[in-house]
Structure 1
Amino acid sequence: MIVSINEFDPHWHDELEIIYILDGSIKLNVAGEVYAMNKEDIAVVNSKEVHFFQNEGRNNSLLVIQFSMDVLKGFDKNLERVKFRCNSSFLTDNRYAPSYEIIKTCLARIFWEIRNRNIAYLFQIHSQINTIITGLYRDFPYIIMGQESIDINNEDLKRMDRIFSYVEQHFMKPISIRDIANKEYLSVYYLSHLFKERVGISFGKYVTIKRFESAKKQLLATNKSISEVATDCGFKNVKSFYSIFKEREKCTPLEYRDSKKGNKQGKNEDSIQDNNAYNFNKAGYLDIDNTSALNSLYARLGVPDNYYSKGGSLEMSILKVNANQNGESFVPFWKKCVCAGRAGEGMRQDWRQQLNELQSEIGFEYIRFHGIFHEDMMVYSEREDGTPVYNWQYIDNLFDYLLGRNIRPLLELGFMPYALASGKDTVFWWKGNVTPPRDYNKWGELICELVRHCINRYGINEILMWYFEVWNEPDQIRSFWYGTREEYFKLYEYTVNAIKSVDSRLKVGGPATAASHGKKAPWLVEFLEFCEDKKLPVDFISTHPYPSLWPLDDKGNCVMAYREVDSTYNDLVEIRKTLENSAYRNAEIHLTEWNSSPSPRDMVHDTAFMAPFIIKNNLQCIGLADSLGFWAFTDIFEEGGAGESIFHGGFGLINVQGLKKPAYYGYWFLSKLGNEKLASGENYFITRGSGKIQVLMWNYCHYNEKFSNGDRSELTEHHRYNIFKEKSEISFDLSIEGVEGKYRVIDYVLDREHGSVFDEWLRNGAPANPTGEELAILNKKSGPEGKISVADCNGSFSRAITVKPHGVVFIELQKMY
C-alpha cells in the first residue's frame, strides 16, 4: 500500500517488511534504534522486530510491503533466523547504492503486478521476491540467530504482547510499570530496561502515546468536552492534556478538533493478499491521494500510472444467431421505475425539464421519491384544537405534471409531517422528520384522505395502477427511523388498513429496507411473518439492494467497500427465495432504490463505468424482480445539500447542468432493445422487435481488489479509472443468419473516447464552472457516436466489432423494401 504515516503504535509481526520512502520524511524506530528516513530511503524490518513510526512534521508517502515468512521460507527454510541490516539512512556507503536501486525497482514491479494482475502476475512477483532476497544475502550484512536467542526473543515478544494488551485495556485509568512488573513477576528496574530495549521508548511515554491517540479519536468522533476527553483517556488533568497536545500537535485540542473534523478519510478494511505471499499493511496508516507517488514509483518501470497494459490474450466472443429463429419474450423491468430525491424538488422547472427529456427518450412507467409529506409540500397542519387541515395544492401540481408525462408515482409515504411527529429528529439537509406519529389514528386519517383525494381527482382506475410504499429504510434506526422495528410494523399496519379501507384493490407494500450487504434483506422475513400473523395484506415487497458494504476499519470508522461482481443478482435471488418461502409468494418485488453505491458523492457515478454496469446488471436480473429503481435520475438532489462541482459524483443520470452522463445512456441502450431475446451471454444480448434485430455488447470492468476493500486513495476528481481491474478490449465476431436483401444498419458506440461527457470534460480542461457556451460544447460531445450504413445481405450479415473497457456498442438492422 502507498500510505502516509502520522504516528504508529509500537508493534511487531511475523512478516518481513520493506519500507520505501517515496516523498517526505519519517522517524523509524526499530528495536530501540531510531533512523531518520527521507525521500528515496529504504529499510528492511525483520520478522518479529518491534518497530514504530513518527511523522517528521510534513506530508509523506511510503510504499510498505510485507512478505509472509511461509513463502520466504520456500527460498530458504532458515530465513526466519536471519536478521538483515538493510537501511539506506544507516548504511550510506556508496557501495550499497546499486543494491538499493535494484530493491526499489523490484518493489515497484511487485506493486505494479499486484495492482494490475496481468496474466501470470504471481510468477512475476515471485521472481522479484527472489531478486530481493538474493540481494539482501549477497550485498548487505546479516546475522543468523541461534536457537537460544530465538527462544529468548520469542519469550520477550510474548511478554510485550501481554503488556500492550494490558495497556490497551487500562490506559484510561491510573497505570504504572509497577503494576505490570508485579503481573510479570519481574523487578521494576529489569522490566523498565527490557521495555525500553525492545520497544525503543520508555513505558511511561508509551502509555502517554496510547492516551494521546485515543484522545485524538474522541475529539473527532464525539461531541465530548475537552475535559471529558482528557478524563476518559486517563490524563491527570486538563492542563497536562493541553501541554502534551501543544507539544505533539503544535495546537490546542479544540483547534485540532476544528481543523480536522469533517476531513477524515476512511481506511482500507482488508489487505490485498495472494497466497499469503505479500500484503499491504492495513493498520496505522493514512490513505492518501497517491497519484504523484504512483508516478514516481512507476517511473522506475517506464510506465505512467494510467497505463493500460496490452499484455495477455485478447478476449474474443463469437455471436451467431438466426434472425428467424424462435425468440424468448421477456419483461423489460428496467423501464418500470426510476427515482428522484424528494417531492419538493419536483416543483422546480429544471427538474421537470430533465424528466421531460428522460421520458421522451427512454420512458419510465413509475417514479419514486422521498418527502411527499415534508413541510415544503405543505400537506398537513393542525388547528389549535388539534383538528387536521389538509392542503393538496402542491401534491396536485406535482401529480398532474407527472401523469402528463406518462409516469405514475410509486408513492413512498413519508416522512412525518411536523405537526404529527412524536419528536424533532430529522434526516438530510432539508430536515425530513423521521419519528413515528404521535397519533397513529391521525396518521391513518391522513393516508385515507390522501388516497380519497387522488381517486376523486384522477379516478379509481388510475389509482389502482399506483403503488403505495410505507416509509423508507426504517431498519436504519436513528437515521431514517427514530423508532423500533415493532413501531414500524405498527405504522405499516395502520397504513395498509387505512388504504385498504378505501379500496381493497389498492397496492400497498414495504418494508423498504436498506441494502442487504450480501445477507438476507433486512427485516424482510420478520416483516412477512408479522403481516401473516396479523393477517395484513402485502401486495409487494421492497428493499434496496445496493452492491456495497460498510465495514469498520481498525479505528471503528465506516469505509465504503464493494461486493462481488454479481452481488445485485445474488441479492435478488435471495429476495425471491425469501418471498417464495413466505405466505406472500405471489407478491410483486420492487427494488425501490439501486445504484452502484448509496453515496451521493461517489465519483464513480460520473464515469463511463456506469453504462456497462447498468446494462449488465439489468439484463442479468431479468425475471427476478418487477422493478429495479435507479436512484436517481438527476443530480438536482439535495440530501446533503447541492453538489460542490459539475461532476461531484452525484447519483443522477443527468447532472445539474443538464449534461447526460454515461449512466443515462445505459438506460437509453436498454430502451432500444426488442421484446424477444434471440441470444445472450456474459457481455452481449441480441433481440428482435418492431421488425428489427438489435445487438447490444458491452465490456464491464469491475473494481480492483484494493478499491473493493475500501481503499479510495486512488480515486480523485480528475483520476477515476485507476480503481478498476485492468481488462483488455473484447472482440466480437458477429454473424446473423437468415437475412436477405438490403438492410439499414445503425451503429452506436459509447466509451471513454466516444460520448462519455465526464471524459470529454477532462479533455477540455475540466472547467470548474463552465459557461453556457462551454456547456453547449460538452453537450454536443455527450452521447453515443452513431453512424448509418446499408448492407447487402446474401443470407447473412457479418461484422467484426471491438468494445473497449467501460464501452458499449449497439447495432440495429432493419430490412429495407
Structure 2
Amino acid sequence: MQENTLIASDFRFSINLPEDAIASWHQELEVMYILQGTGVLQLDDNQFTYEVQQDDIIVLNSYQLHALNMQGSGKALSLFISPAFLAAFCPEIESIIIECKSFLYPKDEQARFNVIRSEFASVFQAYYKNESRLPILMRSRVGVLLNSLVHTFLEQNKQKDPSKSSSKERLRKATDYLHRHYRENITLSGLASTIYLSSSYLSHLFQKQLGLTFTAYLTNVRLSQAVALLRSERTITDIASEVGFPSTNALIDAFKRRFGVTPGQYRLVNEHDATDPQENSMVTAGFSTDFTSLMRHLHHNEHSIVQPQVNEGYDLHVDTARKIRTLSHNWRTLINAGYAKDLLNGAVQAQIRKLQKEIGFRYMRCKGLLDDDMMLYVRKMSGSADYNFVYVDEVLDFMLSVELKPYVEFSYMPSALAREAVFPFKRPSILSMPEHLDKWLALVTSLVRHFIDRYGIESVREWRFAPFVSPEFSGYGVFTMEEYWVLYRGTSYAIRAIDPQLHIVGPGSNIDSSNFISEFLVSCSKGNCLPDSLALRAYHSILPGQEDTGLQLMAEDEAFPLAVSGDEQFMKHALHKVKKLLRQRGFASLPVILEEWSNNIWQRDLCNDTSYKSAFLFKNILENYDHFEAMGYWSLSDHMEEIVPSSDLFHGGFGLFTRGGLPKSCYRALQLLCYAGSGLIAEGDGYFITSSKGEIQIFLYNYCHYDTLYRYRHTTHLTQTERYNVFNIRNTRQYHIRLDGLTPGVYTERRYSVGPAGGSAFDEWLNMGAPKDMRPEEWSYLEGRSLPLLQMRSLQVTANFVVNAVVQPHEVQVIRLTVK
C-alpha cells in the first residue's frame, strides 16, 4: 500500500491498489472512499462480503479486520486518523462503533453520505493544497468530518468487546513484524519466539483472525512488495531476492496463483497501460480522472474551496547605502533556441530579434546541429559521405548577426555515423554512439576547423562547445556510461588539439546527479580533459519514488516519467549541494552553468502559459542571482518543440513566445528583470531590492507551487481555460518596506505588474472569451493588452521613506523609484 504521511502523529492518506488486497487491521479509524472501479470488501473475519464501487464511502473502526480487493484499474483512497487524535477529539470514540457503509443504501437515501463525502473531499483538498502546513486547519477539517460521523453514524447498541483486544494486539505485533522483516527468512517458530508466543497459538491466531495460514499471509506481504517493484527496471530474479522469496520460480509460482499471470506478463500489461493513454481507463484526452469523482463533492459544501482570506505581512527595513554585492546579471548570459533547423524559420528569427532588442542575451544554445535535417553529413547514393556546411553556416550567421555568440552542442548523431537509430523525440534526432569513433572525431574536427576558417580564431575562442548530449540519455539503453565517457573524452581531446583556448562545457547532467558529477570530474581530472565550465540541467523533476506521496505518476506521451519536486527551492538547494561537492573534490573554482532549466519536463503543461510562469522565473532567477555563470532557460519559443505541434494558441509549451510570436507572461517577467540595478541591497523570501545611480528597484513576487496532485500530473481540476486550480493555496502578501538613507527630493515611482489581473497574454485571452481564431486586429489588441501593467506618479521622498505593496498569488511586481 502506498502511503504519505501528512501530520505524522495525527493523519495519513493512502491509495489502495488491486495488489494491496491483504487482510489487515490497524489502530486508526479509517475512512475509505472508492475513487474508481469496483472491488470486494471483506469484513470481520470474512463474515461479511460486499461489492463496492465508485463513490462508495465506508468507515472501518479501529482493529476491524478487513480486506479490500479492487478489480482491474480500481482505486480507493483512505484517511487514517490516529487513536491519539480520536481520544483528544472524542474520548468515548475508542469504545464505540461507527456504522458508515454507503453501499447498503439506495440512491434516494444518499444525502447523509453526501455530507461525509463532501467533508472527506475537504480534508483531502487540505492535504494536496498544502494546507497541511497549517495543523490547526487540518485538525479542524478532520474534526468536522468526525463530528458528522459520530452525529450521524454512531451505532448506539454496539460497543467494542474488550475481551477481543488482547488476542488482536498479539496478532498485530506478529503482522507488524512480518511487514518490517519480510525480506528475511522468517519461520513460524522464529516469529513466535520473537513475540513470546507458542507456535501453535500463533498459528491458531492467524487462522481464526485472518482466515489465512502464517505462510499464506507472509507470501501475500511479499507479493504486494513484488508488484510495486515490477514498476521498476529490476529483473524478476532481483525482485524475488529483494522481497524474500527463496528462488525466482517460487515468486513466479506464488504470483501466478495470486494474480493468474506471471510477473513478466503482469509487467507487460501494466507497461502498456502506463504508456498508451488511449488504453488507460484513468486517462481521458490526456487528463487523469483518479480524483474526479471525489472532488465533485466539494460543490456540496460551499465552504470547502478555501481562498486566501488574510494578508501575510512583511515589514522590511532596508539601508539603501549598504551594498551587499555587485550584480553581473548572469541570467542574461544564455538562452536556448531549441533545434538548429528551427533557426532558419523566419517567424523564429523575428522572435529572436525581438528578444535581443528588448532583453539582450550574450549566447544562444541550440540542439541538433548534426541532425540529418541540417544536411551536414550526408551519405551519397554510392554509400560515401561528404560534409556540407551550408545550413550550419546560415544558423551561425544569423546568431552572430543579432549579436549572439554560439553555444555549440555536438548533437545528435548523423544517421551516416550512427551505430543504431534511436529517436528520443518526434524529430529527426538520432540518439546513438557512432559506429566508428574515428569518423565521429573527424567530423567534429572538420566542423571546428571550418568555424575558425569562416569566423576567425578570436571570435571562435569566445564560443562554447559541448562535446555531446547529456549522459542521462544512457537511460535509453543505446550506450553505456563507459561508452559515453570514451566519446566525451575523445571529443574533448579533438577540440583542444585544434586550439587549447577553445572553451569546453560539460557534461550537461541533471543538477541533482551528485554521484555522476563527482565521478565525471574525477575522471576528467585524471584524463586531463576537465571542462572549462561545469554544465548542468535543472527541471525541478524527480523520480516518483523519491517522495512518499502515495500518488502514481500519470503517464504522458509528451514527458519523461518524472514528477515535479515538492521542494519549492529545488534549484537553490541543488546548487548548494553541487558547490559543496566541488569544494570537497578540489574544484571550487570551476564555473557552474545551467545550460537548460525550466519548471518541469512536461511539454504540455498548460500552466506554462499562465501567470504562474512569470512568478516561477522571478523566484528562481532572484533566489539564485549570479550564483550560476549562466542560466539558459528552456526555451525561446513554442515553435521549437520535441513533440507533435498543437494548433491551440496556448497549449502549454515551454516557450517565452507562442508559436505565432505572442509574448507570454514569462517573457514579460524577463523584461521586468532587466530593470535590476548594479548593486544588491536586500533579498529574502519574495523580494529582491537593487540600486543604481539615482534609482532603487524593488522586485516582489508571490509564487504558488503546484499542489501534490498536479506534481504527479493528476489533472482533475485542469481544463483549457481553468488553469489556476492546481496550485497550493497562498495568501496575498502585503509588503511594508522602509527605505533608509535615500536622498530627499522628488522622485518618479513606476510600478509594473504581471499577474492574472493584467499583463499576461493568457489571462487577457480568457477575458476576450478564449477565442479559437482571431483576426489581425484582435491579435494586435491581445498583444497590446499583455504588456505589464504600469502606474506612475511623482512623490516627495524623505530620507526614511516607506513603500507599501500588495502582491496577489501568481503576481510579480517591480517598483522603481527614480530621483528627478
TM-score band, normalised by the shorter chain? 0.7 to 0.9
Aligned with 1:316 (options 314, 317, 321): 314
Asked whether the equivalents of residues 288 and 713 of structure 2 are also in contact (C-alpha less than 8 Å), the reply is: no
Q: Secondary structure at the match of 1:758?
A: helix
1:703 maps to amino acid: Y
**2:81: which partner in 1?**
67
Per-residue deviation, 1:375 = 0.3
CA distance in 2, matches of 1:378, 1:550: 37
Q: Secondary structure at the match of 1:590?
A: strand
CA distance in 2, matches of 1:264, 1:758: 32
How is 1:22-33 mapped onto 2 (pairs within 5 angstroms)?
28-31=41-44, 32=46, 33=48
Aligned with 1:370 (options 350, 364, 367): 367
2:425 counterpart of 1:428: yes
Per-residue deviation, 1:262 = 2.8
Asked whether the equivalents of residues 289 and 716 of structure 1 are also in contact (C-alpha less than 8 Å), the reply is: no
**2:303: which partner in 1?**
303
Q: Secondary structure at the match of 1:110?
A: helix
CA distance in 2, matches of 1:754, 1:112: 28
1:576 maps to amino acid: K
2:602 counterpart of 1:599: yes
Q: Secondary structure at the match of 1:491?
A: helix
Per-residue deviation, 1:264 = 7.4
CA distance in 1, matches of 2:64, 2:327: 63
**2:241: which partner in 1?**
none
- Over 3 Å counting, the alpha-carbon distance change for 1:771 and 1:48 in structure 2 is farther
Q: Secondary structure at the match of 2:474?
A: coil
CA distance in 1, matches of 2:42, 2:719: 33
How is 1:606-621 mapped onto 2 (pairs within 5 angstroms)?
606-621=609-624
Per-residue deviation, 1:799 = 3.5
Report Cα offsets for 1:48-75 as digits up to 9, x if no partner. Answer: 4454557899x99976422133533455
How is 1:612-761 mapped onto 2 (pairs within 5 angstroms)?
612-643=615-646, 645-689=648-692, 691-708=694-711, 712-736=715-739, 737-761=741-765
Per-residue deviation, 1:612 = 1.9
1:412 maps to amino acid: E
2:674 maps to amino acid: S
**1:86: which partner in 2?**
100
Report Cα offsets for 1:588-613 as digits up to 9, x if no partner. Answer: 21111111112212233222122122
**1:449: which partner in 2?**
446
2:343 maps to amino acid: G
- Over 3 Å counting, the alpha-carbon distance change for 1:604 and 1:391 in structure 2 is same
CA distance in 1, matches of 2:782, 2:280: 32
What 5-or-longer segments of structure 1 have no aligned partner?
170-183, 223-230, 246-252, 268-285
CA distance in 1, matches of 2:388, 2:662: 35
Per-residue deviation, 1:386 = 7.5
CA distance in 2, matches of 1:98, 1:360: 62
Asked whether the equivalents of residues 343 and 371 of structure 1 are also in contact (C-alpha less than 8 Å), the reply is: yes
CA distance in 2, matches of 1:344, 1:701: 36
Give the number of equivalent residue pairs.
748
Q: Secondary structure at the match of 1:418?
A: coil
**1:799: which partner in 2?**
803
- Over 3 Å counting, the alpha-carbon distance change for 1:560 and 1:716 in structure 2 is farther
- Over 3 Å counting, the alpha-carbon distance change for 1:29 and 1:347 in structure 2 is farther
How is 1:116-515 mapped onto 2 (pairs within 5 angstroms)?
117=131, 120-125=136-141, 127-128=143-144, 131-132=147-148, 134-135=150-151, 140-148=156-164, 151=167, 155=171, 261-263=276-278, 288=289, 290=291, 293-300=294-301, 302-303=302-303, 305=305, 307-311=306-310, 314-322=312-320, 326=323, 328-382=325-379, 389-479=386-476, 482-515=478-511
2:659 maps to amino acid: V
Report Cα offsets for 1:410-456 as digits up to 9, x if no partner. Answer: 11111111111122223211142221122222222211211111112
2:300 maps to amino acid: A
1:761 maps to amino acid: W
2:29 counterpart of 1:16: yes
Q: Secondary structure at the match of 1:523?
A: helix
CA distance in 2, matches of 1:768, 1:44: 47
Asked whether the equivalents of residues 12 and 51 of structure 1 are also in contact (C-alpha less than 8 Å), the reply is: yes
CA distance in 2, matches of 1:7, 1:795: 69
**1:526: which partner in 2?**
519
Q: Secondary structure at the match of 2:473?
A: coil
Asked whether the equivalents of residues 99 and 155 of structure 2 are also in contact (C-alpha less than 8 Å), the reply is: no
User: Which shows bigger deviation, 110-119 or 341-350?
Assistant: 110-119
2:538 maps to amino acid: P
**1:249: which partner in 2?**
none
Per-residue deviation, 1:791 = 2.7
CA distance in 1, matches of 2:164, 2:357: 81
Q: Secondary structure at the match of 1:668?
A: helix
- Over 3 Å counting, the alpha-carbon distance change for 1:590 and 1:611 in structure 2 is same
Q: Secondary structure at the match of 1:400?
A: helix
CA distance in 1, matches of 2:123, 2:164: 35
Asked whether the equivalents of residues 15 and 551 of structure 2 are also in contact (C-alpha less than 8 Å), the reply is: no
Per-residue deviation, 1:789 = 2.5
Per-residue deviation, 1:145 = 2.3
Report Cα offsets for 1:213-245 as digits up to 9, x if no partner. Answer: 989x99xx99xxxxxxxx9899999xx99xxx9
CA distance in 2, matches of 1:449, 1:85: 79
1:566 maps to amino acid: Q
Per-residue deviation, 1:77 = 7.4
Aligned with 1:44 (options 21, 38, 59): 59
CA distance in 2, matches of 1:55, 1:582: 51
- Over 3 Å counting, the alpha-carbon distance change for 1:561 and 1:150 in structure 2 is farther
CA distance in 2, matches of 1:754, 1:46: 51
1:310 maps to amino acid: Q
Q: Secondary structure at the match of 2:343?
A: helix
Per-residue deviation, 1:631 = 1.0
Asked whether the equivalents of residues 121 and 294 of structure 2 are also in contact (C-alpha less than 8 Å), the reply is: no
2:725 maps to amino acid: N
- Over 3 Å counting, the alpha-carbon distance change for 1:296 and 1:61 in structure 2 is farther
1:317 maps to amino acid: D
Per-residue deviation, 1:394 = 0.2
What 5-or-longer segments of structure 2 have no aligned partner?
1-12, 186-198, 236-250, 556-560
Asked whether the equivalents of residues 465 and 504 of structure 2 are also in contact (C-alpha less than 8 Å), the reply is: yes
Report Cα offsets for 1:527-552 as digits up to 9, x if no partner. Answer: 11112112224211111122221224
**1:550: which partner in 2?**
543
- Over 3 Å counting, the alpha-carbon distance change for 1:372 and 1:112 in structure 2 is closer
CA distance in 1, matches of 2:123, 2:791: 44
Q: Secondary structure at the match of 1:747?
A: strand
CA distance in 1, matches of 2:496, 2:583: 24
1:47 maps to amino acid: S
Per-residue deviation, 1:391 = 0.7
Asked whether the equivalents of residues 411 and 469 of structure 1 are also in contact (C-alpha less than 8 Å), the reply is: yes
CA distance in 1, matches of 2:50, 2:479: 55
CA distance in 1, matches of 2:145, 2:675: 52
Asked whether the equivalents of residues 295 and 304 of structure 1 are also in contact (C-alpha less than 8 Å), the reply is: no
Asked whether the equivalents of residues 98 and 154 of structure 2 are also in contact (C-alpha less than 8 Å), the reply is: no
Report Cα offsets for 1:61-98 as digits up to 9, x if no partner. Answer: 9764221335334557786675543324437899x989
2:314 maps to amino acid: M
